Amino acid sequence: MHMNEGTQAGVPGERPGHHWRDPDRAREYVQRMDALAEERHRQFELLVRLLPYPRDAAIRVLDIGAGHGAAAAAVLAAYPRARALLLDISPAMIELGRERLACFAGRYRYLEWDFADGSLPQGEGPFQVVVSSLAIHHLPAEATRRLYREARSLLAPGGCFLNLDIVAAPTPALEELYRRLAEEGGWSSGPSGRHSRLHELGQHLEWLREAGFAEVDRYWKQWHLALFGGFVPGA
């Protein structure tokens, strides 16, 4: 499932993320993210620097809501021996991702997967790294908590989970400020009414600790966008 910045609520009763099956919507999103390539590169560079492995490590990576593969590509480029499994609900996004990831042929695999209820493919682990980018923020609280627990169960000792996503502002005034700043920066959306399920960063960190992660923290934040996660204690 790919549920990203700028996503609006779908048809009432529709499971989150299923509107990304629309090829036009998928292409428009990728074009918009391409326009922000320099900014996103810096964010993914920081994510990669947080990974607790030497660059020659043969790590396995799970990318949740991978879309066109931007987060996975950043890890694969930095870790030449890494392999990745990319989860997404949208065949249109998967098709675009395969085009973008052609240079990593043989090192990645897409799996069409719906995680609207927080479930992950348990038979695919263990992984050293689980990442997600702009994909989890529409899940309700219980689904998010379940997803964090399942991500923890898929990780090997010493592994990590890193999520680059939008979070709720702690006050209405800050929410309005972040929305305006996001629009001025070209993101076209902030933590407004269309993201009614957003949770505050502190809540995410609490759920990660509850799931069994250690060294949980916000590693970077700009307005509504944050890079946060946790690590699995070593063997």
d(CA 97, CA 68): 4
pLDDT, position 14:
56
pLDDT, position 39:
72
Kindly report, residue by residue over 150-205, the tens digit of the pLDDT. 999 999 999 999 999 999 999 999 989 988 888 887 664 444 444 557 999 999 99
Entry pTM = 0.84
d(CA 183, CA 172): 17
Kindly report, residue by residue over 10-26, the tens digit of the pLDDT. 444 556 555 555 555 65
d(CA 5, CA 133): 10
Asked whether residue 90 carries a pLDDT value surpassing 60, the answer given is: yes
pLDDT, position 235:
62
Task: Provide the mean pLDDT of the chain.
Answer: 85
